[in-house]
Amino acid sequence: MMLHQVEERLQNHQPRTIDAQLPEAAVLIPITNASEPELVFTRRAPHMNTHSGEVAFPGGKRDLSDRDLIHTALRESFEEIALPPEAVRIIGQTGSVVSRFGLEVTPIVGIMEADTPLRANMAELDRIFKVPLSYFLDKDNLTFNHWKLRNQDYMMPSFYYGEYLIWGLTAVMLVEFLNITLDADILLNAPHFNSHFPRAKGMFQSCSMDG
């Protein structure tokens, strides 16, 4: 029932676009089709130059040879977690966001078989893990990180799951997905929706988290 609602909402959703003229990237939001649907996440390896140790959806920059951003998301997912493109059924996408490194990132949503074997590319990742979709709908699992950017305050959502912290751009994309598809109604006022965000790189400060 939950997956049916997710698919139906995405089919009727008009994703936001950002006319930023920035390099493009895409991530896959993979959902397992188990009786208890789960989202698949990765954790970046500590030796990576960017995003080291951060939790992320599989994905990356668009190559010139990529047909479209769906192709980008599937190619990167195969390279990072050995998820075969044919094992994913694409059901839609959510709005583009801007990363602090100046990329316009488009989240692509796909459903995969729950028992699909995955393998982390250790050159880029140190972990693959899954989180029940229902976990993110429990408000007790939600915290907010207060950001101040150019004299404006933002309430940035984040989630702790065991040893993992899901925050930043990944949390922004996750929460927008939850709000669109499952009526999560989580406050989301993120600078990542603004094409000027990358030019503010390095100009924000984060404050303490509140439950």
Report yes or no: 156 and 142 within 8 Å, Cβ to Cβ: no
Tell me, what's the pLDDT at 158? 95
Residue bearing tokens 């692509």: 108
**Which residues, at least 6 apart from 129, have a Cβ–Cβ distance to it below 8 Å?**
40, 41, 42, 43, 161, 164
* Measured distance CA(51)–CA(34) in Å, rounded: 30
Q: How far is CA 109 from CA 2, 199, 211, in A?
A: 14, 28, 28
The per-residue pLDDT for 200 is 53
Structure tokens at 126: 């140190």
Please give the Cα distance from 86 to 79 (Å, whole number): 14
Side by side, the strands of the sheet bearing 142-149 are 164-166, 152-161, 142-149, 204-210
pLDDT at 207: 42
Q: What is the pLDDT along the chain (211 residues), one digit of tens a residue?
A: 899 999 999 999 999 888 778 999 999 999 999 999 999 999 988 765 555 579 999 999 999 999 999 999 999 999 999 999 999 999 999 999 999 888 999 999 999 999 999 999 999 899 999 999 999 999 999 999 877 777 778 888 999 999 999 999 999 999 999 999 999 999 998 888 887 777 654 444 444 334 3
Query: So what's the pLDDT on residue 191?
Result: 86
For position 24, what pLDDT does the model report?
Answer: 95
How far, in Å, are 156, 163, 202 from residue 106 at the CA level? 19, 27, 22
Superfamily of domain 2-197: Nucleoside Triphosphate Pyrophosphohydrolase (3.90.79.10)
